[in-house]
Amino acid sequence: MGPHEPRFNVNLSILFTELPLLERPAAAAAAGFTAVELWWPWPGVAVPAPAERDALRRALDDAGTRLVGLNFYAGLLPGPDRGVLSLPGAGSDDFRANLDVAADFAARTGCTALNALYGNRVPGVGHAAQDALALENLVRAARAADRAGAVLLIEALNATESPDYPVVTSARAVGLVEEVNAASGLGNARFLMDLYHLSMGGEDLPAVIERYAGVTGHVQIADNPGRGEPGSGALDFGALLGHLDKAGYDGWVGLEYRPSGASADSFGRLDALGRRAG
């Protein structure tokens, strides 16, 4: 690998889902990965029992896989929710209850990036009220991430699949990063550059990379259309990874796609990109 070539890690919340959660780290290791990431591993449960958290930590340790990315609690994901931190009432309360739990899990596993997803727009609630709540909770998340020695990630989804989600452009997500950094004074918020979502939104991906690589804390990829493995759609990942290299991005590239078959059979196309698993 060259000095700035990104390393692949695998998202165990969308890959290897044919296996129980605790078996996925070992499966990723058997496929050649030393690093993994996760959405919040217990959908709909903001504060799982300590024994469940300990079991997952042991599974990661036993497999020799490093956790490099973790979502804060985001409701039912996958499912109807996109996040909860801007939802008045129970959603926001659950997010706050999860902050220290997620940060503690990150600290215990050496995870250095925590992703906080916005919530969908709520009928009857003003956008300004939701946005004020979101900023307050994102600052709380930045502080929790800082206690864990991690950065806070903020990403854009796409309006086609998430029509009620308010953060659907790279500019909006990076604007939020700047707002959170200014409000927290910590400077630890970063952009999560998900090339699949940005492509679905019609953005010029090389331009996004050039403009925002310096504030990017993590990259995720899937092909478009279909959200499949690289090579299954129209995106030129060889070129896109080259743009990331040129822009000086040297962080992780998370594989966050839906495999067309068995997860372990979907990684062969990575070899054609001249990269290897991290």
HEC states along 107-120?
HHHCCCEEECCCCC
In the set 37, 155, 203, 229, the catalytic residue is 155
- Look at strands 216-221 and 151-155 and give their pairing: unpaired
196 three-class SS: helix
Sign of CA dihedral 17, 68, 103, 50: positive
In the set 37, 203, 229, 256, the catalytic residue is 256
Q: Distance between CA atoms of 188 and 278, rounded to whole angstroms?
A: 24
Q: Distance between CA atoms of 54 and 128, rounded to whole angstroms?
A: 39
Q: Distance between CA atoms of 54 and 246, rounded to whole angstroms?
A: 40
Residue 210 known to be catalytic: no
Residue 229 known to be catalytic: no
Query: Contact 269/238 with Cβ under 8 angstroms?
Result: no
The position carrying tokens 């060259």 is 2
Active site residues: 155, 256
